[in-house]
Amino acid sequence: MPSLNSSLNMGQRALSMNQRAMHTSGHNIANQQTEGFSRQQVTTQSAPADPLGLGRGAEAQPTTRVFDHFIQKKILQENPRTGVFHTREDYLNKIEMLLNELEGNGLNQAMNDYWNAWSQLSSQPESDAARSQLREVGDVLARRFRELHGRFTELRQEINGRLQQTINQINELGLKITEFNRQILTYESGQRNANDLRDARDHAIEELSKLVDVNSYEDRNGNVTVIIGRDWTLVQSRNFFPLEASMKGGETGMMSIDGVATHDSRRDLTQIFREGEMTELLRMRDETIVDYMHQIDELAFSIAGEVNRLHATGTGLNSAVDMMKSTFGLRHQAMNEPLPFIRDGIFQLHLVDRDNEILETYEVEIQAGADTLPDIVSRINLTVNDPQLLNASLEEDGSMILQSGDNRRFIFGEDQTGVTQVLGLNGFFETLKGAEDIRLSDTIQKQPNHISSGRDLIPGDNRTALEIAKLPTKPIMRDGTMTFGEFFSSIITDLGLKVRRNQSEMKQQDNMIQQFKEIRSSISSVNMDEELTNMVQYQKAYEASARFLGTVDEMMETVINMK
């Protein structure tokens, strides 16, 4: 037969369980707005019966959190892709702003103004005003190219800074997860559930998954191991292996990412990340932006090259000179190598008098793939065969100088080889790197009368200006399939397509993540109506337990007072 003491113990346990359940509901309500919090619940089970089979009430189990590991895993899998799309959206919009033509002062407008100026010069080849205008718009075009290159470079430097911030965020989250591991292990060693700590740790891992692709697993002691990228262990139990920005290796001025295992042991991790904000920042900095820079360089090189090709063999109002130095020089080690980018054929030098009458034409034969710059200098001198008339020589900086004497001057004629263009002789533009350094030649900048409009110093000749003015209508770019304008438009179109495609994919990805979070919310979030209903239920149960205890207490008092 059960004793009154056992009934008291049973009632006391019932009071304690309902009080604990009420406390848990209050804890849930207080954390309704806490990010990453999972609602908690108190579960009970029937206590073992006594030897006679009579029940002993209920026993409380450890408080648990309502949490779906499968849904959380799906969110961790999809979060990195979300980080990719949002980062890409940010920087594609910035690139779009750099190439924006809406204000009427972009690169496309500068190109149109430049070609229009050549058309005007072809109509007025003797006009000083037309030449000055051409020099001005040519300088603007070169400046637009340089500015665009500079802004792209600044954007890459901005990404460098953001990479440093991302590395700091990853390290902060890694340290948090390591500390949570320590606290959870300590707390749960007392046979308790560290529900709030586990929520905080899961939230930190979720935040980390937006920055890099994450794989995590928990051991039997409750410690989480976090692997980022393909194979770098960021957290292992209480051990933390941080990331660090490094300027060693790779492109000058562009940081790489090292993983630090010990003070003396590190590894380059720049290429191990597959998804997340970090991956897209690196891809945007080292691939996407660089690709657009290369396309702008290609456009700058092509415009400069085509204009210079025609300009070099043309003449202006005052183009005959007695001395000319090539713009580009060769390094010492390149002197004995064949001059690159030239073709087989001849190029002409016309010797003229002070009245611009052609006295002699020299045809210098060039053999591509064989002739070095010293060979070409020797060939010129051998062809002229009189240093008092015209002489070629090499300077210490690797450039070539042509100089005439005896009151003679010279101009260039037909050039089948491209040697004038390669060496930068009588060019309109100068460039070695493309958009980064394109500028007007010093001669054109100082003396616009040297702008080539015709040939052979014939007054009113506009043949060169006409040919250059026709360049924007010729399919020169991409193996003769696009004009300059079409090529630039294709860059803008490609960018627009990338923006729209990314927006579509980003929207789809955001919807997927939102669906998973709504499912998680339906399982784990705090429902105020449900908690209030539970509180009423726990209150009633507590009151009933208290009344049960009161009744048992009266029974004991009756027994004690029996005589």
Fold type of domain 320-425 = Immunoglobulin-like (2.60.40)
For residue 262, which phi and psi values (nearest 5 degrees)?
A: -140, 180
- Specify whether the CB–CB gap between 436 and 146 falls below 8 A: yes
User: What confidence category does residue 249 fall into, taking pLDDT thresholds of 50, 70 and 90?
Assistant: low
User: What confidence category does residue 486 fall into, taking pLDDT thresholds of 50, 70 and 90?
Assistant: very high
DSSP output for 211-242: HS-EEEEE-TTS-EEEEETTTEEEEETTEE--
- Specify whether the CB–CB gap between 212 and 278 falls below 8 A: yes
Helix (H) or strand (E) holding 426: none
Cα–Cα dist 217/92, whole Å: 35
* Structure token pair of residue 257: 């990412």
**Sheet with strand 400-404: strands edge to edge:** 323-325, 400-404, 390-394
> Where along the chain do its domains lie?
4-66+526-561, 166-270, 320-425
Mean pLDDT of the chain: 90
pLDDT tens for 36-67 read 899 988 888 887 777 766 777 777 788 889 88
pLDDT tens for 96-144 read 999 886 556 789 999 999 999 999 999 999 999 999 999 999 999 999 9
The pLDDT value given to residue 2: 64
Angle (deg, nearest 10), helices 107-123 and 484-524: 170
Identify residue 281 by its one-letter amino acid code: L
Alpha helix stretches (DSSP H) within 99-240: 107-123, 128-188, 195-211
Q: Give the single-character DSSP code of 5.
A: H
* Structure token pair of residue 563: 């005589």
Mean pLDDT calculated for residue range 325-339:
88
Q: Does the pLDDT at position 1 exceed 60?
A: no
Mean pLDDT calculated for residue range 324-350:
90
